[in-house]
Chains A and B, each alone.
Chain A
Amino acid sequence: MAKFEEGLRYSESHEYIRVEGEYGFVGISDYAQHALGNVVYVDMPEVDDEVTAGEEFGAVESVKAASDLISPVSGTVVEVNEALEDKPELLNEDAFANWIIKVQLSDKSELENLMDAKAYEAFCAE
């Protein structure tokens, strides 16, 4: 069964964001990694790239499908999780511990548009 971690914000396209101060750590939810199956490749942006809420910033490829990564927030990429380049399976092992990009948020009010764990769990059950 998929886990839904409390304290994170979730999008309908199954990304999560963990906010720490002016930064957010963006990854895919545990539900998403379950649905994708074995992840074999993560296509990530570069540091200093701009991301926009609702727009694609990369892709996750599994043996089943390739899925775009949609940014839940707008801002600047300050770090990418380089460990995923060699070990994309980390997303399957623990999707919440292994974020994909760290973003400096440009508009914190965008977080209001995202779901909390409870709402997201209900969304996935639909």
Chain B
Amino acid sequence: MNRTLYGNLIFELSKKGRKGYSLPQDYDRTHTTAELPAALRRKEAARLPECDELTVVRHYTNLSHNNFGVNDGFYPLGSCTMKYNPVINEDIAGMKAFAGLHPLQPAVTCQGALEVYYNLQESLAELAGLKEFTLNPCAGAHGELTGLMVIRSYHESRKDAARTKVLIPDSAHGTNPASAAVCGLEVVEVKSLADGTVDVEHLRELLSEMGSEVAGMMMTNPNTLGIFEPRVLEITEMVHKAGGLMYYDGANLNALLGECRPGDMGFDVMHINLHKTFSTPHGGGGPGSGPVGVREGLEQFLPTPRVKKVVVNYDIPEDGPTEWEGFIVDWGTDSSLGSVGNFFGNFGVMLKAYTYILSLGNENIKQVGPLATLNANYIKERLKGDYLLPIKGLCKHEVVFDGLADKSTGVTTMDVAKRLLDYGYHAPTIYFPLLFHESLMIEPTENESKETIDAFIDVMHKIAEEAKTDPELVKTAPHNTPIGRVDDVLAAKQPVTTYWKMLGNE
């Protein structure tokens, strides 16, 4: 993009009175704002930019050239599973027969869509080792909240509502404590050991201290360090014994896909991020989808509506007994926790996820976890000299370094991440997890070829070398991007969020 020509804000391109449309002089004004009650009318005109259509199109087209997505290049954002979104997913989701549906149309007129919906519920249940799934939640944290509401409903149904504490490891994603708080539950932190896994002895202490108040425990496995929790069976058993339920945060499910199942590890409730593990768009492009699965005995608490398969027997006088197999929408039962969003959730996203599952098939889906794990370990082994590897041994689908091995240069993880932009890569996740001061978390996913990964590794080595020979170059990066190093501190302290404010107005 030519910044001199096209780098303005849309407001700076505005010319008073310029329009992108024209209306007939004598058109029939059937309604005017004068009909609205005075209290609802604007006191002053909205401060919108005034531009012609071509200016608007050029402006946003040029901005769009600054985007960076999985389709542009390597995007190793740890904990996010930024995997490739196959084009066939878009083809299927864009079919008129699906895209034109209305959520309130009678079930008998959209049996095909309901069948896809039902089949996806079943496929996820099979892959997770659980009984039933709801596809209603619209994202991961929404799934967490829904799952916790299921856990609350379960305890309330047993007249054991005093269970208001949720155990969460200190390595967890921030969404876990946030979801628990939104659900009205109290967070109790479980410590990690030096190797990043759950401190089972600390968990034991907490359970003996407050076991009867524990609603459940939330866990990510592999955890946010990419390490599989070796004592997961013991943990789920301990929490169950204390009367709590186990919640599985599906953020890192990609590592296990096709290898092992949360249900088999003793988890009772979980969410899956379709926008991570099942190749649907992720990030600003979304929308997301966070289906929630439960073990047998909890399905009655799932939110509504639910899509169910039924067999109906007719006895038609002329034809004799006839069997109809089809799909119905169950809009509510007394035990259900109710609606958690708009109708069925993001159906377009589900179509993409189901397409992905069918495209891979039973055999190939088993390779997802192992290949993602192989790629992460390959990067770990080749970078562990130049970058500090705090936790040795095998990782799963992602690897966490604690910044550069050579700390004498003063070059931080932030600087390394910024320098990566100069070389055409999306930065990894930085400063998370919080267990280390200089976390640099790389998740390559299973999609990347050895050539892509090798090229990335070479650049990481090069940056480590630059940190020694020319640290200023790295500390002032990026140099090749449309915008250089931004002032994070100023942006956080004095955010300028509107053009009006930028001009100095309050």
Inter-chain CA distance A38–B488, complex, in Å, is: 9
Task: Output the nearest chain B residue to A86 by Cβ-Cβ distance.
Answer: B493
| Closest-CB distance, B418 to chain A (whole angstroms) | 13
Task: Output the nearest chain B residue to A40 by Cβ-Cβ distance.
Answer: B492
Tell me the A24-80 residues at the B interface (CB within 8 Å): 35, 38, 40-41, 61, 63-65, 67
Residue numbers in A under 8 Å from B489 (CB-CB): 38, 40, 63, 89
Inter-chain CA distance A89–B493, complex, in Å, is: 10
Residue numbers in B under 8 Å from A64 (CB-CB): 431
Complex contact A35–B437 (CB within 8 A): yes
Task: Output the nearest chain A residue to B494 by Cβ-Cβ distance.
Answer: A40
Given contacts A40-B489, A40-B493, contact A65 B431 (CB under 8 A): yes
Complex contact A63–B434 (CB within 8 A): no
Inter-chain CA distance A67–B435, complex, in Å, is: 12
Most chain A beta-carbon neighbours within 10 Å: one of B432, B434, B437, B492: B492
Tell me the B367-405 residues at the A interface (CB within 8 Å): none
Inter-chain CA distance A67–B488, complex, in Å, is: 18
Inter-chain CA distance A41–B492, complex, in Å, is: 8
Residue numbers in B under 8 Å from A89 (CB-CB): 489
Complex contact B492–A63 (CB within 8 A): yes
Complex contact B437–A63 (CB within 8 A): no
Residue numbers in B under 8 Å from A38 (CB-CB): 488-489
| Closest-CB distance, B415 to chain A (whole angstroms) | 12
Task: Output the nearest chain B residue to A38 by Cβ-Cβ distance.
Answer: B489
Residue numbers in B under 8 Å from A65 (CB-CB): 431-432, 434
Residue numbers in B under 8 Å from A41 (CB-CB): 492-493
Residue numbers in A under 8 Å from B431 (CB-CB): 64-65
Work out how many contacts link A and B, with CB atoms closer than 8 A: 19
Inter-chain CA distance A49–B489, complex, in Å, is: 30
Tell me the B432-478 residues at the A interface (CB within 8 Å): 432, 434, 437
Inter-chain CA distance A41–B437, complex, in Å, is: 19
**Interface size bracket, B side:** under 10
Residue numbers in A under 8 Å from B437 (CB-CB): 35
Task: Output the nearest chain A residue to B493 by Cβ-Cβ distance.
Answer: A40
Task: Output the nearest chain A residue to B492 by Cβ-Cβ distance.
Answer: A40
| Closest-CB distance, B297 to chain A (whole angstroms) | 35
| Closest-CB distance, B497 to chain A (whole angstroms) | 15
Inter-chain CA distance A64–B489, complex, in Å, is: 10
Task: Output the nearest chain B residue to A61 by Cβ-Cβ distance.
Answer: B492
| Closest-CB distance, B202 to chain A (whole angstroms) | 13
| Closest-CB distance, A94 to chain B (whole angstroms) | 17
| Closest-CB distance, A59 to chain B (whole angstroms) | 12
Inter-chain CA distance A41–B491, complex, in Å, is: 12
Task: Output the nearest chain A residue to B432 by Cβ-Cβ distance.
Answer: A65
Residue numbers in A under 8 Å from B493 (CB-CB): 40-41, 88
Inter-chain CA distance A40–B431, complex, in Å, is: 16
Inter-chain CA distance A55–B432, complex, in Å, is: 23
Residue numbers in B under 8 Å from A63 (CB-CB): 488-489, 492
Task: Output the nearest chain B residue to A35 by Cβ-Cβ distance.
Answer: B437
Inter-chain CA distance A40–B437, complex, in Å, is: 18
Inter-chain CA distance A63–B485, complex, in Å, is: 14
Inter-chain CA distance A31–B103, complex, in Å, is: 55
Inter-chain CA distance A8–B488, complex, in Å, is: 32
Task: Output the nearest chain A residue to B431 by Cβ-Cβ distance.
Answer: A64
Residue numbers in B under 8 Å from A40 (CB-CB): 489, 492-493
| Closest-CB distance, A22 to chain B (whole angstroms) | 31
Inter-chain CA distance A61–B432, complex, in Å, is: 14
Residues 471-506 of B, flagged 1 when their CB comes within 8 A of A and 0 if not, give 000000000000000001100110000000000000
Inter-chain CA distance A35–B437, complex, in Å, is: 6
| Closest-CB distance, B388 to chain A (whole angstroms) | 15
| Closest-CB distance, A89 to chain B (whole angstroms) | 8
Task: Output the nearest chain A residue to B412 by Cβ-Cβ distance.
Answer: A37
| Closest-CB distance, A67 to chain B (whole angstroms) | 8
Inter-chain CA distance A63–B488, complex, in Å, is: 7
Inter-chain CA distance A2–B432, complex, in Å, is: 22
Inter-chain CA distance A40–B491, complex, in Å, is: 9
Inter-chain CA distance A47–B333, complex, in Å, is: 48
Inter-chain CA distance A124–B434, complex, in Å, is: 15
Tell me the A72-126 residues at the B interface (CB within 8 Å): 88-89
| Closest-CB distance, B299 to chain A (whole angstroms) | 36
| Closest-CB distance, B88 to chain A (whole angstroms) | 40
Inter-chain CA distance A88–B489, complex, in Å, is: 11
Residue numbers in A under 8 Å from B434 (CB-CB): 65, 67
| Closest-CB distance, B263 to chain A (whole angstroms) | 33
| Closest-CB distance, A35 to chain B (whole angstroms) | 5
Inter-chain CA distance A89–B488, complex, in Å, is: 13
Task: Output the nearest chain B residue to A65 by Cβ-Cβ distance.
Answer: B434
Contact residues of A with B, CB < 8 Å?
Answer: 35, 38, 40-41, 61, 63-65, 67, 88-89
Listed A/B pairs (17) with beta-carbon separation below 8 Å? A35-B437, A38-B488, A38-B489, A40-B489, A40-B493, A41-B492, A41-B493, A61-B492, A63-B488, A63-B489, A63-B492, A64-B431, A65-B432, A65-B434, A67-B434, A88-B493, A89-B489
4 additional A-B residue pairs with CB within 8 Å, beyond A64-B431, A65-B434, A89-B489: A38-B488, A41-B493, A63-B489, A67-B434
Shortest 10 CB-CB contacts between residues of A and residues of B: A40-B492, A64-B431, A63-B488, A38-B489, A40-B493, A35-B437, A65-B434, A63-B492, A63-B489, A40-B489
